[in-house]
Chain A
Amino acid sequence: MSLPGWQALHAEYEAAGFTVVTVALDIDPEKARPWIEAAAPNHPSLIDTAHVTNELFGFNNVPMAVWIDETGTLVRPAEGASIEARDTDSPLPDDLPEPVRELITEARRIPDIGAAYHAAVVDWIEKGADSTYALDPEAVIAASHPRERNHAEAAANFELGQHLFGTEGKEAAVPYWREAHRLDPDNWTYKRQAWTLETTPEGEPSDLFQAPTEAYEGSWLHDVRAIGGGQNYITVPEFLR
């Protein structure tokens, strides 16, 4: 939830012709609202209840970003984005429950790209098309996420579940979300959106723990370990690999 960091980037470079647009992939806008109000953004802060931007850009996790130049042309495809350095090495309390310790340990393996990503964005703001980070259209398309038939079918299943969640209730959505997870196991937005609806305690804004549930096969820790660990969790931009 790095909204304050994105807002700060926007505020710093707005006068230089740069705008941050944040998009909340939240089926329930009310879940996103407390975070938005806390960050008090004066950049466009949008709500994407149907995960439309997944389909249009290829987002399959958060945070992920695209860069769009002054002509409305993408100069970077959907990829992992970060704006703040993370705490990856401070000692954990001795009395931390073991499942929480395991989860934090795995999360700390996620590549910490914040500082380098920030520098790349600033380079682009200052140099535009002359920035080494600004790709030409062919390179942007080639570097965008491959979409096979299973990915497309997963998108349709996820959106059908999203629609039925609103009109019929959660029970009607679960079979389609399970199918989306099966078809596109690398899409974390499909999984985390569905898991959080099972695991978030009543009255709480969100649950980042996302422990195993009866409704779905996977859980955050299980599925991250299945891909070889947190180091494989995000799409690291090629200039940071």
Chain B
Amino acid sequence: MIVETPTVDPDHFEQRTGWASKPEGLCKGSMCVPAPEAIAADGTLDVATLAARLDMPLVRDEATGVAALGPESPGHSLTTAVAPELTLPDQHGNPFSLSSLHGRKVLLVAWASW
């Protein structure tokens, strides 16, 4: 995820990475990593601490100060079989959430113009 500030909103972090900020720590599926030092008094998450605790690469562009936080590793691209909450714009630009299809079988397929 793109980060332009030293701390990030936990809801955005969860939406983008699947890791939720809970009382027991940072959790994804059944896995929780205790990280009290990552959570600031105002509830925001410290990016550098997240990167260290969850083994996420942080790549910064010096010219602009913008950075990207990569996914956790090593492991598998899936750490849980629970589908992540995913919201993306549809072809009309309206946000669509995968969770709205709960109760149906879904085949999610990636394609591209290229």
Contact = CB atoms under 8 A, between A and B. Distances in A.
A137 interface: yes
Interface of A: 1-3, 6, 9, 17-26, 29, 31-37, 41, 44-48, 50, 52-53, 55-59, 62-75, 77-78, 81, 121, 124-125, 128, 137-138, 140-142, 144-149, 151-157, 159-160, 163-164, 167-168, 172, 176, 189, 192-193, 195-196, 200, 205-208, 210
Interface string B51-91: 00001111101011011111111111111111110101111
Q: Which of A29, A31, A57, A196 has the most CB of B within 10 A?
A: A57
Given A21-B106, A36-B91, A157-B59, A163 B70 contact: no
B5 interface: no
The 5 tightest CB contacts between A and B, nearest first, are A58-B77, A156-B70, A137-B81, A144-B78, A160-B68
Contacts of B88: 23, 46-48, 52
A125 B105 contact: yes
A172 B88 CA distance: 25
A94 to B, nearest CB: 29
A125 B98 CA distance: 18
Contacts of A200: 114
26 contacts: A17-B104, A18-B106, A24-B111, A25-B112, A31-B114, A44-B96, A50-B2, A52-B86, A53-B86, A55-B17, A58-B78, A63-B110, A66-B83, A68-B108, A71-B102, A74-B82, A75-B81, A81-B107, A147-B75, A153-B59, A167-B64, A168-B63, A189-B110, A206-B114, A208-B114, A210-B114
A106 B18 CA distance: 38
A179 B109 CA distance: 27
B48 interface: no
Contact of B59 (A2, A156, A168): A156
Contacts of A208: 114
Assign chain B's interface to a size class: 35 or more
B103 interface: yes
A37 B91 CA distance: 9
B12 to A, nearest CB: 12
A207 B114 contact: yes
Contacts of B86: 52-53, 56
Contact of A48 (B56, B64, B110): B110
Given A24-B113, A189-B112, A208-B114, A47 B57 contact: no
B102 to A, nearest CB: 6
Nearest to A159: B68
